[in-house]
Each structure stands twice: as C-alpha cells, then as structure tokens.
Amino acid sequence: MGELGIDVLLLSVGADLPYLTGYEAMPLERLTMLVLPRDDDAALVVPRLEAARVQERPEAFTVRPWEETDDPIGLVARLAGPAGTAAIGDQTWARFVLDLQAAMPTTRFRKASEVTGPLRIVKDAAEVAALRAAARAVDEIASAMRDRPFAGRTEAEIHRELVDRMLELGHERANFAIVASGANGASPHHEPGERTIAAGDVVLCDFGGTMRSYCSDITRMFVVGEPDSEVRDAYAVLVDAQEQAVRAATVGTPCEEVDATARRVIGDAGFGDRFIHRTGHGIGIEAHEDPYLVAGNALPLAPGHAFSIEPGIYLPDRFGLRLEDIVLATDEGPERLNEAPRDLAVVD
Ligand code: ZN
Ligand code: ZN
Ligand code: ZN
C-alpha cells in the first residue's frame, strides 16, 4: 500500500476479504467492510447478526458490529479517516461504492486488486497444498466416471452425480458441473439439461468446486462406445495441444505464449477457428483469477502461479472437445496438479 500510495484498503464481498481474514462477507444489502488503514489497526465492520460468524483475530483486526439503525457508511468513513486514496474491493456493490464516495468526498478511489492481485497470484506452500488436495479429489471422480454408465442417463443426472461426489470427497461446495453431450458440447459452458445420452455420443464433463477455501477445476472427455475416426483424430490434436501448452508453461514465459502454443497446434490441424476461448485462467480462492493465459497478456509466469490449461475444439451441431488440468509454475518446470487419465474414455 505504501508503494502504491494507498492510505486505506476497503474490502467487502469478493475473495480478497476471505483471503486476508478467513471471513467471507454475506452478499447482503447490509454492508460488511474491512477497513484496513496503511498505518493503523484494521477493523471489520459487520452487521450485528453476522458478527457471531466472524473469528476475530485481535493481532490482525477487530470486529465492529453495527446495529440495524446505525449508519455503516458513516462508520466506515470515520474509520478510514482523512484518506487521500482508498483502494476498494473490485466486487463491492455499486450502491456502497457510491454512498462511500459521497461520504468521503476528498478521497480518490482505486481498485483493491492493485494491492491484493500481486499477493494472491503467487501461491504459498499452504495454498498449493490446498489446490493439490482439491485437484486430487476431482481426479478421483474423473477416474471413477470411466467405469460409470452414460447411455440412457440425462446430462442432468450425470451433473447431479458429479456435484454429489465433489461434496462427498471433501469439497465445501460444488461451483459448477458442466455435462455436455453430443451437439451440446459445441457450446463450451452448456447448461446440463434433460437430453438423454445415447450410443455414439461424445460427452464433455467439466467440473469443480471449493475445498479448504481453494478451487478445483477439471475437464475430461467420454464417448459412448468406440469413437469414429473424426472424433479420435480431433481429440489427438487436442491432447497434443494441451501437452505442448503445459510444457511451454515455464517460469519466465509470457502467459500469451502459452496460449499461442496451444493455438498453433490446433491451427496447424485446421481447427483454428474452432478454438473459441482463451487457453486458461488462474485459480486459487476463486475459480477464475489472474493470471489469464490469453493473447495480449505479456505477464511472465512466476513460481507459484497456478492456472488451468484447457484448449478446446468445438464443431457446431456435432460435438465439442476440451481437456483441462490445473498446472503450477515452479522453478523445476510446470507441474500438473491433476493426474486423472487424459485419454478419451470409452464408456457404456
Ligand atoms: Zn470455462
Ligand atoms: Zn473447467
Ligand atoms: Zn477452467
């Protein structure tokens, strides 16, 4: 904050607050806000009825509950003092931002991610351990799905199975479980529905959740019965693209170069216009966070960066393919945190 000329950090809903305090703000009309001055003690302003859920850490912050008839905006403004520059959480609701700007008319507002981004992007040993544990849990699910029947079940049924399994294997919550069969797979974020999976269908399963506050995210591909050569050939291209992109993800390599590597392999095979999204996203306390592996992001990878590598090939009206692992950049080279088999699983 000193380097950036920021006098006070103001954090509400979003991942920065639990990252620093272990407490996640309720997304409520009642304001929760950590007021963290650069040179003074921090206070967590929280609605009285939520205070019992906060674990106070007096060495880090005190809890300042407010009653239903209090003015929490005024309280935050008082605690912030005569700050020249405040950095406010990127996901703070506009109603609170606008009220705070009115209550702190001489303060310049910037985004809290300027302060928290460089901290959160590098995972320490405990964070890596949590990401690894979450990855292991979804690996176990992805592996077990290879022995499960798909034909005759709906996408929604498989979706529920994935959600249940994530919770059984230690996730606090399931964040998503995309099941896209046949032509539905051509839409990368397809909402699982009542389509019944049938012989010959290619099925994309992309699922993840939160475990010990850190996220998992994996995509594996299944096919009901032996795939035809078109599916097999396209999938071989995808596996190659993903492998080469993982190998390219060394410390010092710009994020956009990892994206370009996957795109080159897919483009050379003639599917360039069918790879319709970036190659990957960072992952941590949020399922999608910095760094993004996308053209235009020249940020060099550093040890402790954790991100997905998930190229895809989407053929409208036919099928879609994606293969996704979480990868950690280390001084010893890129390390995949997911280890479930990556071949196209032939299922019943
Ligand atoms: Zn996605
Ligand atoms: Zn995913
Ligand atoms: Zn992902």
Q: Note the ligand closest to the C-alpha atom of 189.
A: 1
Model pLDDT, residue 127: 98
Find the 66 Cα to ligand 3 centroid distance in Å.
Answer: 39
Class of the domain covering 125-347? alpha beta
Model pLDDT, residue 214: 97
Pairing of strands 218-224, 345-347: parallel
- 8-120 classified as CATH 3.40.350.10: yes
Q: Which of 309, 230, 228 is nearest to 275 (CA)?
A: 309
Find the 105 Cα to ligand 3 centroid distance in Å.
Answer: 41
Q: Kindly report the pTM of this predicted structure.
A: 0.94
Give me the long-range contacts of 133-136 (CB less than 8 A, separation at least 24). Answer: 133/170, 133/211, 133/212, 133/214, 134/171, 134/209, 134/210, 134/211, 134/212, 134/214, 134/215, 134/216, 135/216, 135/218, 135/326, 135/337, 135/338, 135/339, 136/339
Q: Which residues of the chain have pLDDT under 50?
A: none
Domain ranges of the chain: 8-120, 125-347
Model pLDDT, residue 167: 98
**Average pLDDT score, the chain:** 97
Q: Note the ligand closest to the C-alpha atom of 326.
A: 3
Find the 102 Cα to ligand 1 centroid distance in Å.
Answer: 38
Q: Which of 296, 37, 268, 228 is nearest to 279 (CA)?
A: 296
Model pLDDT, residue 190: 93
Find the 325 Cα to ligand 1 centroid distance in Å.
Answer: 12
Model pLDDT, residue 57: 87
